[in-house]
Amino acid sequence: MAARQAFRIATRATGRNAFSTLPRQAFRQQGRRAYSSEAPAPEKSSSSLPYIIAAAAAGGLGFWYYTSNGAPSAAFTKVPTQADYQKVYNDIAARLEEKDDYDDGSFGPVLLRLAWHASGTFDKATGTGGSNGATMRFNPESGHGANAGLLTARDFLEPIKAKYPWITYSDLWILAGVCAIQEMQGPIIPYRPGRGDREAAACTPDGRLPDATQGHDHLRNIFGRMGFNDQEIVALSGAHALGRCHTDRSGFTGPWTFSPTILTNDYYRLLLEEKWQWKKWNGPKQYEDKTTKTLMMLPTDMALVQDKKFRPHVERYAKSNDEFFKDFSAVIVTLFELGVPFAAGSESQRWNLKPTWDESK
């Protein structure tokens, strides 16, 4: 906990990654993952519930539990408070690292990917898709190629859903994404509940999420359909500082950064500062860093530095972690709220939930 607090203070004070000058190895302090911007030494790798929808009631809003045939049950509860959502957040955070052999030791990246993919199906022209509905629970959406491997994240959250049956899957998945970002040293992501769950008929068509084999035109088409501009596309891409690709999911392999469970602006720094070459292997086309051959970049990543309109934003975020955090927080909130029919006046319910590691908040 002390190491994480020291990292945040040092990063904000210097505007650069706090431990970027440390030796090329990962390290731990007081049992928590610390940060390294350089290559680690080699180590062994590891291989329908009721819906809850808001309803007007005397004295304010309440929540009716709906049965499978669409009729409301007799249960009527108070509106969950910020404290209630904080409890859910804390339980997610407590389990992020319980299986230390999962990927790089945290479920955080895959939970963020779940929230991202649930939200990134939004089409502003038709108003369909987005984080409202949690339709990835059903075929065909669960079987879309871009969602391969996300059953792991959905299964991870089932015990949380069972403990807190009042929260919708849609709200839970986004809350898990918020928790993942904040617990992995990222910025505060204001969270607003209010999503409802939908049936399989609401599944979105395949092809609405980015195809990593494509270039800048594809990125603008995909993100433009959601309503994002060039700056926002680049800011959202910074999530690639976290996690890694898997051959049994996307077909690609490897992490983007040396610290895939800590969110920093290293993704942008590495794009600009490292020398990248095509990886020689039997898989899909991807890049590897010339120095260690342990990092990777996708064609869509390299498009950010090859395109003259994207590149200035990459350069700005590479220079300032604070700038990246500020813009990333703003745009991820927008992403997570796409397609959600929030109640009028609910802006006041956009809460800053407390990271479990930060004793100062």
What DSSP string describes 139-194?
Answer: TTGGGSGGGTTTHHHHHHHHHHHHH-TTS-HHHHHHHHHHHHHHHTT-----B---
When pLDDT is averaged across residues 143-167 and rounded to a whole number, the result is 97
* Chain centre distance of CA 84: 22
Among 48-57, 189-198, 240-249, where is mean pLDDT lowest? 48-57
Domain tally, the chain: 1
Quote the DSSP letter at residue 64: E
* Cα–Cα distances in angstroms (integers) from residue 314 to residues 113, 125, 233, 256, 278, in the given order: 21, 29, 10, 15, 21
Domain assignment present for residue 342? The answer is yes
When pLDDT is averaged across residues 69-90 and rounded to a whole number, the result is 72
φ/ψ of 345, rounded to 5, equals 85, 5
Diameter over CA atoms, the chain: 66
Domain assignment present for residue 261? The answer is yes
pLDDT above 90 for 84: yes
Q: Provide the pLDDT for residue 346.
A: 87
Spatial distance between the Cα atoms of 198 and 194, rounded to a whole number of angstroms: 13
CA torsion sign, 212 to 217 to 218 to 224?
Answer: positive
Domain assignment present for residue 105? The answer is yes
* Cα–Cα distances in angstroms (integers) from residue 141 to residues 85, 121, 205, in the given order: 27, 10, 7
Domain assignment present for residue 312? The answer is yes
Q: Provide the pLDDT for residue 77.
A: 61
Is residue 301 within a helix (H) or strand (E), and if so which, with residue range?
helix 299-306
Q: Which residue has the tokens 């350069």?
A: 315
Residues 91-125 pLDDT 10s: 999 999 887 778 999 999 999 999 999 999 999 99
Catalytic residue list = 117, 256
* 95/3: higher pLDDT: 95
What radius of gyration do the chain's Cα atoms show? 20
pLDDT above 90 for 75: no
Domain assignment present for residue 38? The answer is no
Domain assignment present for residue 138? The answer is yes
When pLDDT is averaged across residues 19-39 and rounded to a whole number, the result is 43
For residue 207, the SS3 value is: coil
* Chain centre distance of CA 244: 13
Q: Provide the pLDDT for residue 19.
A: 41
Spatial distance between the Cα atoms of 321 and 8, rounded to a whole number of angstroms: 11
Q: Provide the pLDDT for residue 79.
A: 86
Q: Provide the pLDDT for residue 148.
A: 94
Domain assignment present for residue 106? The answer is yes
Range of the domain at 159: 82-349
Average pLDDT, the chain: 84
Is residue 29 within a helix (H) or strand (E), and if so which, with residue range?
strand 28-29
Domain assignment present for residue 52? The answer is no
pLDDT band at 357 (very low <50, low <70, confident <90, very high): confident
* Cα–Cα distances in angstroms (integers) from residue 61 to residues 73, 81, 334, in the given order: 16, 12, 24
CATH number, domain at 191?
A: 1.10.520.10
